[in-house]
């Protein structure tokens, strides 16, 4: 599977990640995360591949996160409820989200991208 880069064009961090991937000649399929967020099942697969806590997938600095009061709600939500919520609104997902069959990175940290995608 080609790596999917879930990006938001108005996000500086996403633009940095896209430039990094392009500069490092990493092959990827760009997916507009707001217009075409990953489905619940795609998110489940990405989350399980990542080994991360599902709460790490939330964009905690986003307006919707604050408006929905998710800081207080997430601790009592089930995984299924969190996956439903993430799949319903791409702006709730931490970005950039880069995912292949065996590798997942969240956010933009050059050293993490180098470790995960630099040698591919």
The domain that contains 113 carries what CATH number?
3.40.30.10
Structure token pair of residue 49 = 């591949």
Output the pTM of the full model.
0.93
Please give the pLDDT value at position 1: 57
Phi, psi of 19 (to 5 degrees): -65, -45
Structure token pair of residue 75 = 């601790």
pLDDT, tens digit, 9 for 90 and up, residues 66-108: 999 999 999 999 999 999 999 999 999 999 999 999 999 999 9
Please state, in angstroms and rounded to a whole number, the distance separating the CA atoms of residues 92 and 84. 11
Mean pLDDT, to the nearest integer, of 8-25? 95
Where are the alpha helices (H) located in the chain, listed in sequence order?
A: 12-23, 40-50, 63-67, 70-73, 79-88, 110-117
DSSP, res 37: P
Residue 118 has pLDDT above 70, yes or no: yes
pLDDT, tens digit, 9 for 90 and up, residues 27-67: 999 999 999 999 999 999 999 999 999 999 999 999 999 99
Reference 67, options 85, 49, 52; nearest CA is 85
Domain of 59 in residue numbering reads as 3-117
Please give the pLDDT value at position 2: 81
Greatest CA separation for the chain: 42
Q: How many domains does the chain have?
A: 1
Please give the pLDDT value at position 46: 98
């Amino acid at each position: 599977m080609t790596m999917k880069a879930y990006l938001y064009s108005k996000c500086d961090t996403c633009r940095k990640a896209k430039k990094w991937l392009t500069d490092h000649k990493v092959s990827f399929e760009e997916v507009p995360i707001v217009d075409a967020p990953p489905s619940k099942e795609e998110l489940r697969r990405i989350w399980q591949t990542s080994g991360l806590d599902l709460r790490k997938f939330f964009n905690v600095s986003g307006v919707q996160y604050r408006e929905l009061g998710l800081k207080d709600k997430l601790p009592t939500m089930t995984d299924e409820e969190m996956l439903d919520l993430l799949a319903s609104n791409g702006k709730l997902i931490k970005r950039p989200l880069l995912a292949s069959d065996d590798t997942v990175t969240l956010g933009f940290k050059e050293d993490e991208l180098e470790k995960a995608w630099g040698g591919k």
